[in-house]
Amino acid sequence: MNERDSMSRRRFVVGASGLALAGATGAAAAQTANKTNKKGSKLAIDGGAKTVKAKCSAKPRWGEPERKQLEAMLKQNSLFYWRGPQTKLLKERFHEFCPVKYVQTCSSGTAALHIAVAAAGIGLGDEVITAPVTDIGTVIGVLYQQAVPVFADLGKGTHNLDVSDVERRITPKTKAIIAVHLTGNPCDLDALKALADRHNLVLIEDCAQAWGAKYRGRPIGTVGHIACFSL
Ligand SMILES: Cc1ncc(COP(=O)(O)O)c(C=O)c1O
């Protein structure tokens, strides 16, 4: 593509997205035009008084401690060294927080779950029972291994795996259960572990959303056969 072509493409894209935005704001304006609030005064968007007058504070998200750490990493002259001091420290601190036999770092929660599924020997046509409400990272590794995610019902009020429904979905092809501790709320791990042991299944804990959560006094990640976290 020569420079002129690329320029005209770029102009087209800019022009087109401008149009889309104009269309959207036009529609929004039409929707709110002449609307009033309950007291009959104009909405703030139409020039009326604002209900919430305080401004959102824009506190800096990073400060001196982060700057110091970043500087230390730059000085080490290698940012992506997986045997580097930061990785070692992370593993040590993680181990204090989640005292399991082995701790290994990898590139993401999705990668951790994929490694777990592969380590459990899951492959073509195997079934893995998990939760339907989760991040796609829970099932990517299962699909990559050409296995089948089987979605169990969630418990009323907990939005975590309903253990009796998990049991109903066990077939001769089932190899593992991935228990997702949704939004910091631990699954019923004792019941799931007992079920997994009874059927010779691997229990994988997806702890990505539940850092620091405890199940009956034990840190999550210490009950299942394998546990995966996300940073
Ligand atoms: C429940 C759950 N599992 C897995 C993942 C994937 O983790 P990552 O984004 O680090 O790949 C997430 C990410 O938010 C998650 O919420």
How confident is residue 33, by pLDDT bands cut at 50, 70 and 90?
Answer: low
206, part of any domain: yes
Which two tokens mark 139? Answer: 């099932």
Q: Are 196 and 203 in contact (CB under 8 A)?
A: yes
Instruction: Establish if 34 belongs to a structural domain.
Output: no
pLDDT digits (tens, 9 = 90+) for 174-192: 999 999 999 999 999 999 9
Domain count, the chain: 1
Closest residue by Cα to residue 218 from 97, 94, 90, 91: 97
What local confidence, expressed as pLDDT, does residue 101 receive? 95
Is residue 31 in some structural domain? no
Structural domain includes residue 77: no
Q: Indicate the top mutation candidate among 113, 117, 135 to test ligand 1's pocket, ranked by most ligand atoms within 8 A of CB.
A: 135
Lowest-confidence segment of 11-15, 64-68, 70-74 by average pLDDT? 11-15
CA atoms within 13 A on the CB side of 108: 9
Residue 90 lies in a domain: yes
Ligand 1 probe mutation, 133, 209, 230, most atoms within 8 A of CB: 230
Tell me: pLDDT of 146 over 60: yes
* Ligand 1 atom closest to 113 (CA): 4
Give me the CATH number covering residue 220.
Answer: 3.40.640.10
Domain boundaries, position 136: 85-228
Nearest CA to ligand 1 atom 10: 109
196 falls within a domain: yes
| Assigned token pair, 59 | 């506190």
Tell whether 96 is covered by a domain: yes
Which contacts qualify for 191-195: CB closer than 8 Å, 24 or more apart? 191/163, 192/161, 192/163, 192/166, 192/224, 193/223, 193/224, 195/163, 195/166, 195/167
Domain assignment present for residue 42? The answer is no
- pTM, entire model: 0.75
Residue 211 CA, ligand 1 centroid: distance in Å: 12
Give the residues surrounding ligand 1 with Cβ less than 6 Å away. 108-110, 134-135, 137-138, 180, 206, 208-209, 230
